[in-house]
Structure 1
Amino acid sequence: MKIDLHSHTFCSDGVLSPTELVIRAVDKGVDALAITDHDTVAGLAEAKESISKQQLPLQLINGVEISTSWQNFEIHIVGLNIDPTNACFLQQLASQQQRRLERAEEMARRLAKSNIPDVLPAVLALANGAALTRTHFARHLVNIGQASSMNNVFKKFLGRGKIGYVPNSWVEMAQAVQWIQAAGGEAVLAHPLKYKINTKWLKRLLADFAAAKGDAVEIISPQQTPQQRRDLWALCQQHGFSASVGSDFHQPTTWNELGKNLYLPDDVLPVWHHWPLAQTAKGNLSN
């Protein structure tokens, strides 16, 4: 059974619609998919409806990815099996959306001072109601010829210390864990090797995530080595975490795909071990 618990639609910074995403997941042999857009659950209803109408052989896991603040780092926490109709949770996500808008406004002001005007209206049009991210800014700056690629945008304009960089004001990591669990979900530390922190800080992050009563860690992500997966699992065992897997899919690329290489070693406890799908998954994933 192939499971992917981290993916995005155009409701945040992905490029596919929820319908397109679930169809692609089936085409790639995925059996269970979590849609985890940034600070929004807006794509879940369409995805569920599409699966039902087209009778797709896909189990949808209601998810979200919350941007949080920890020790001046931006840390992402995935929520799995959340209740997307929980009124309190929706209000909390709305507060994150307001933070995103305020950050976007300040980014646009800073870019305007560097002779790149009228960025915010263009970015809002590009997002088309989706959760605003720096990716939308990057796409716009590439479109208008300010950079040759998305990566180049971050190097020139949006990375830490650059002219368009604005520090985040996200919810604290421990509070986001509480939000997710109060909405019936499980809190997963997303892609821990992407934060560009050394081993000492990584251990500290996992310790604080454990103190916040987090549930699992995403130990399987694209382009990890087998040794990195083993090392992450060893750290998880120290804190009693289960393991999650996710492609962090945003768009079709040559280096990442839904469900690709998301396999767990036999001795790893998956986050879904107590879910209804566990009986068929048997704790393992196919390539």
Structure 2
Amino acid sequence: MHLLNADLHSHSNVSDGTLSPQALAQRAHAQGVELWALTDHDELGGLAAARETALDLGMGFLTGCEISVSFAGETVHVVGLGFDAGNAALAAGLAGIRSGRRERARRMGEALAAAGIPGAFEGALRHVGNPDLVSRTHFARWLVEAGHFAETHEVFRHYLASGKPGHVPHDWARLGDAVRWITEAGGVAVIAHPARYRFSPSAEYALFSEFVAHGGRGVEVVTGSHTAAEQLQYADTALEFGLLASRGSDFHSPAESRVDLGTLPDLPGRLTPVWGALAARVQRA
């Protein structure tokens, strides 16, 4: 039986990836992806170019974005798939999230200067493709470029993760608002890479319970940051909460990402893929 090579989580330089939407679509196609979604952080600006290139190449395409959410003291990401990209409420909600990013980035630059690394804000801006979306990843790239670290993952561990000198907390969207924006725009809301969050079992149960109560319908089971054991764990979570299962590399950059587009293992066969529920929303040439 042919298993669909779907990659429903990736980032372009419209948020914190390094490739243009067009180049990202071309790379996905070259890697054998058959159904692809661009899911830039809190931003829809790359979707039109991504869609045009994907359809020209013969790939199926789903609209996507990754919304930043604050929940129980952690930043959680909710992926939206298959929504109407022209929905006004969704666009307004994402614009509200983006509006706080630049000030947060200035404060991160000040915090890094206080820790002995001046010029980080200006350096991060050199890596930004969208001035409304300055992220921790852009700071990490500059710190590598400036010779402070060998790779971006080290920067996060030492300076940018929660509790580290360059981390600046921020209030993102509420979980219920993010799910509502996606679902009212006709899409499906998916909890991204759940193993990355530092929740206790009870807090994680609360996250999934509230997510479902708000109308969330999916969870990423197979993703670039999940180990084989974590894939099995969140397959069980999907079954426990009656959630659709998603698959996405979370690809950002050829030089940085652990997993390339289209190269993830298949979803476990006992799960219901999210793309089945989105069949009517898949765009094709």
Give the TM-score of the pair, scaled to structure 2: 0.90
Contact in 2 for aligned 1:3/1:262 (Cα 8 Å): no
Contact in 2 for aligned 1:272/1:278 (Cα 8 Å): no
Equivalent residue for 2:17, pick from 8, 14, 17: 14
Task: Give the structure 1 partner of residue 261 of structure 2.
Answer: 258
Task: Tell me how far 1:235 sits from its aligned partner.
Answer: 2.0
Equivalent residue for 1:191, pick from 187, 190, 193: 193
Task: Give the structure 1 partner of residue 278 of structure 2.
Answer: 275
2: distance between equivalents of 1:61 and 1:191? Answer: 19
Equivalent residue for 1:167, pick from 154, 166, 169: 169
- The 5 A counterparts of 1:50-61 are 50-52=53-55, 55-61=56-62
1: distance between equivalents of 2:221 and 2:159? Answer: 31
Task: Give the structure 1 partner of residue 235 of structure 2.
Answer: 233
User: Judging changes above 3 Å, is the alpha-carbon distance between structure 1 residues 20 and 198 closer, same or farther for their aligned structure 2 residues?
Assistant: same
One-letter amino acid of the counterpart of residue 24, structure 1: R
1:26 aligns with 2:18: no
Task: Give the structure 2 partner of residue 283 of structure 1.
Answer: none
One-letter amino acid of the counterpart of residue 77, structure 2: H
One-letter amino acid of the counterpart of residue 17, structure 1: S
2: distance between equivalents of 1:170 and 1:232? Answer: 25
Where does the alignment leave 5 or more consecutive residues of structure 1 unmatched? 280-287
User: Judging changes above 3 Å, is the alpha-carbon distance between structure 1 residues 88 and 201 closer, same or farther for their aligned structure 2 residues?
Assistant: closer
User: Judging changes above 3 Å, is the alpha-carbon distance between structure 1 residues 152 and 274 closer, same or farther for their aligned structure 2 residues?
Assistant: closer
> What SS class does the counterpart of residue 63 from structure 2 fall into?
strand
1:91 aligns with 2:92: yes
User: Judging changes above 3 Å, is the alpha-carbon distance between structure 1 residues 100 and 6 closer, same or farther for their aligned structure 2 residues?
Assistant: same
Contact in 1 for aligned 2:62/2:281 (Cα 8 Å): no
> What SS class does the counterpart of residue 95 from structure 1 fall into?
helix
2: distance between equivalents of 1:88 and 1:99? Answer: 18
Contact in 2 for aligned 1:4/1:262 (Cα 8 Å): no
Aligned residues: 277
Contact in 1 for aligned 2:239/2:271 (Cα 8 Å): no
Task: Tell me how far 1:227 sits from its aligned partner.
Answer: 4.4
> What SS class does the counterpart of residue 79 from structure 1 fall into?
strand
Task: Tell me how far 1:192 sits from its aligned partner.
Answer: 0.6
Contact in 1 for aligned 2:9/2:39 (Cα 8 Å): yes
2: distance between equivalents of 1:223 and 1:170? Answer: 22
Residue range with higher mean Cα deviation, 146-155 or 91-100: 146-155
1: distance between equivalents of 2:71 and 2:118? Answer: 32
> What SS class does the counterpart of residue 276 from structure 2 fall into?
coil
2: distance between equivalents of 1:261 and 1:165? Answer: 31
One-letter amino acid of the counterpart of residue 195, structure 2: L
User: Judging changes above 3 Å, is the alpha-carbon distance between structure 1 residues 161 and 227 closer, same or farther for their aligned structure 2 residues?
Assistant: closer
1:3 aligns with 2:27: no
Equivalent residue for 1:141, pick from 140, 143, 157: 143
Percent sequence identity over aligned pairs: 38
Task: Give the structure 1 partner of residue 69 of structure 2.
Answer: 68
Task: Tell me how far 1:269 sits from its aligned partner.
Answer: 1.0
User: Judging changes above 3 Å, is the alpha-carbon distance between structure 1 residues 155 and 234 closer, same or farther for their aligned structure 2 residues?
Assistant: closer
Where does the alignment leave 5 or more consecutive residues of structure 2 unmatched? none
Residue range with higher mean Cα deviation, 246-255 or 31-40: 246-255
> What SS class does the counterpart of residue 272 from structure 1 fall into?
helix
Task: Give the structure 2 partner of residue 103 of structure 1.
Answer: 104
Task: Give the structure 2 partner of residue 126 of structure 1.
Answer: 127
Task: Tell me how far 1:71 sits from its aligned partner.
Answer: 0.2
> What SS class does the counterpart of residue 275 from structure 2 fall into?
coil
1:35 aligns with 2:42: no
2: distance between equivalents of 1:44 and 1:223? Answer: 24
> What SS class does the counterpart of residue 189 from structure 2 fall into?
strand
> What SS class does the counterpart of residue 273 from structure 1 fall into?
helix
RMSD of Structure 2 on Structure 1 (CA) = 2.1
2: distance between equivalents of 1:217 and 1:208? Answer: 13
One-letter amino acid of the counterpart of residue 99, structure 1: G
Deviations 1:115-147 (A, max 9, x none): 433332332232032522100011111222233
Give the TM-score of the pair, scaled to structure 1: 0.89
Q: After TM superposition, which residue ranges in structure 1, 4 or more long, deviate above 4 angstroms? A: none
Residue range with higher mean Cα deviation, 136-145 or 71-80: 136-145
